[in-house]
Amino acid sequence: MKETVNSVLQRATGYRLTKETPAQRREALARAKRSAAGRQRNAQNPRKLPPPAVPTTPAQQRRQRLRGMSLTELAEEFGTDKWGGHWYTPHYERHLGHLKRERFTLLEIGIGGSVKPGKGGWSLRMWKWYFPKARIVGLDLYDKSFVDAPRIRTYQGSQDDPAVLRRILQEEGAPLVAIDDGSHRSEHVLETFRILFPLLPAGATYVIEDTQTSYWPRLGGDRDRESKTTTMGMVKQMVDGLNYEEFLDEDYEPTYSDTNVVAVHCYHNLVFIEKGSNMEGSNPAKKERLLPENQVTREPASAGDS
C-alpha cells in the first residue's frame, strides 16, 4: 500500500498536515501585517525610560556628591590629616579598595581632637562614605560619643587595655581592617598589636600610622635604629619573620606573627600588615646542605693555582 505524505509525517513526528482554508490564510496575513506595523512604530518611536530621580534637597545633593568621591577627596571634605598632613589615602585605596562594596567592620584606634569638646571623628566619617556597607568603629582615650551616627560607633578606653579591645570585638565582631592611629608611642603600638592582631580573622589588614615616632625618644622612640623596642623595630623583625622557615638556627621558635603575617608593606610613616597562614615550607634538602655542620671548607687557592 502506497503511503501518503501525511501518513509518513505522522509516523515520523506525530503531526499531520491540514489544509488551510481561505479564511485562515487571510487571518494569518492580517496578523503578519499588524506585527510588521508594530515593529515599525517601535523603531520610529522607541520607548523612553523615565529619567533617574534628580536630588532636590541639599542633603540629597550632598549624599550624591559624597558617593562619587575618591578617598582623597573624602579626606579633604571631612578634614582628616590622612591627606594633607600626611599622604596616606592613595596607599589606603591601593590596599583596601577591593573592600569598597563589602560588608565588614573597620576599627580605628584614635578618633582625633584630643580633649577638645566636639572635635574629632573626621576619618571615621571619611571611612563611612568610602565603605558604604561597612560598620565603622572608633576607640579613643576621651569621650567621642558625639561622633556616633548610623554605621559609626565610638568607644572610650585605652588602646592597650585587653578588656576594652575584647569588649569591642565581642560587640562589633572581629574587624577585617584595624588601624592604629592612637598615641603613636611605641610601647602602646607594640602592646596593642600583641593583643589585637591574634584576634583578627585571616585576610585582615592591620595598619600602623605615623611610624616616624619610632625615632623620637620623647614619644617612646629610640635614636638607635636597630632597637627592637620601637614600632619600626617590630616591623623589621616582622619582615625577617616572613622567612623564618629559612633560618638555619634549628632551635628557633617561630612567633605568632612569624606564622600569621603573609605580607608587610612599608611606606613613609605608614605600614600595612596582611594576616594569613605563613607556613609554605622550605626546601629541606637545600637547607640541610647549608647547615654549618654539613658545609665543606675549601682550602685557599695558592698563587699558582688556576
Catalytic residues, by residue number, are 184
Q: How far is CA 126 from the centre of its chain?
A: 15
Query: CA-to-CA distance for 247 and 261, rounded, in angstroms?
Result: 16
Residue 251 three-state SS: coil
- β-sheet bridge partners, residue 179: 108, 207
CA 258 to chain centre: 22
Report strand pairing: 261-267 vs 177-180.
unpaired
Residue keyed to cell 634538602: 285
Taking the C-alpha atoms of residue 124 and residue 147, their distance in angstroms, rounded to an integer, is: 8
For residue 220, how many other CB atoms are within 10 A of its CB? Answer: 19
Query: Which helix or strand (DSSP H or E) is residue 239 part of?
Result: helix 231-241
Spatial separation of the C-alpha atoms in residues 135 and 178, rounded to whole Å:
12
CA distance 206 to 176: 8
Are 55 and 98 contacting, i.e. CB atoms less than 8 angstroms apart?
A: no
**Helix (H, G, I), strand (E, B), or coil: what is residue 207?**
strand
Q: What angle do CA 179, 180, 181 make, to 5 degrees?
A: 105
Residue ranges of alpha helices (H) inside 88-185 are 89-96, 122-130, 162-172
Q: H-helix or E-strand containing 208? A: strand 205-209
In the chain the first and final C-alpha atoms are separated, in Å, by 106
